[in-house]
Structure 1
Amino acid sequence: MLASGLGTILAGCTGDPAGERAPIVVGSGAPVVVPGAPGQDARTATPGERLGREESRASAADVLFAERMIPHHRQALEMAGLAPARASDPRVRALCERIVAAQRPEIDVMSRWLRALGRDVPAEHSGHGADGSGEPDRYGMAGLEEMNRLRAARGEAFDALLLRLMIRHHEGAVAMAEEERAGGTDRILRAMAKDVVAGQRAEIVRMRALER
């Protein structure tokens, strides 16, 4: 899973100061060429010069992505967690197991990323649309009435409703991730967004096949 790799990246970015973010000190060996700014020529670094490595810099878009995606993922985990006791189709149960396996580590990575910035991790989702209205939000989170119907459903009725809600939920996650890829600057979250787009699009295809 990419999420485990992202955890390693995050640990490297927030851990040993002598690691990835440490500057490079130019020695007396082979010359080091430093690229110039756009429109400027490259130059050769002088011995003893300290060259900072490229860092991952968080933007407002990155923070917004993490703060939105964590509760979004949490609702997906709640929906998927209903399947073992309610789903009749073993393929639906297997799909939900994969969703939990993929999204739980991603929540952990994003939570650690926010804490590393000194920001609070969003509280548990309220069980309905993120705007608090009880209606589905623009990123596909289920409304309160929909969640209550899903909790009450059993067998084939549960399978059908779960697939319908989860497809919309995944489509919302893909839209959110595409926004991060377009506007985010942090390499950890951009890598996660790329993974979300690829993984959830593939799951949408599987879910649509199960609907037939």
Structure 2
Amino acid sequence: MNKSEKEMNKMRDKVRKGYEEGQYAKEYREGRTIRDFEKELFEDLFEKIGEEGSILDLGCGIGIPFDRYFVDNGFEVTGVDFVEKNIKRAKENVPEANFLNTDFSQLDFTKKTFDAVVSFYAIFHIPREEHLDLLEKINLMLKESGNILITMGTGDNEKIESDFVDSKMLWSSFSIQKDKDLVKKAGFKILRSYEETEEEHHLWILAEKKD
């Protein structure tokens, strides 16, 4: 059964509060390096978008390690996160990038603005009923033949974890096949997918905007 807008707003508030009060940045971002499989995926993305391309990062957190890596490789980066303390730290960690404190599921950028849109470990924290709408919005933000590199969940469920680095946290995702179907339905051609299983289970998808 579809959720009401009020119910979905409550879910978003729970996620925001979890990131504001918890220790996610300390546990998962500070001191973290780019993993080998991530470097491979990033190289594929860089090759597609060319030198000095523009990248929008949805759910950028504190800007490291990903936005720092993109800037160091010569790309123009815009990061978005709805947790104010994350954006403050992102500006300190990656002063060369542009950061916005807003809910990325509510973004309305000008059409055909970016060469690539990325989102790591974030989409499955918004209600899954909104995933297709978000992907369609992302498609509109991309220039012709633009690309996405995103992580999505691997389980067809919604759950609330009571102690996720000292806070409550929500997960909302579909199955791997459903995720891929949504990406295609939103107007993308999947170029590569990778199921991350080393530490946690996530689905990475590299896809290109269809003409």
Instruction: State the TM-score, normalizing by the size of structure 1.
Output: 0.27
Q: Which has the higher contact order (CA 8 A, sep 6+)?
A: 1
Higher helix share: 1
The structure having more radius of gyration, on CA atoms, is: 1
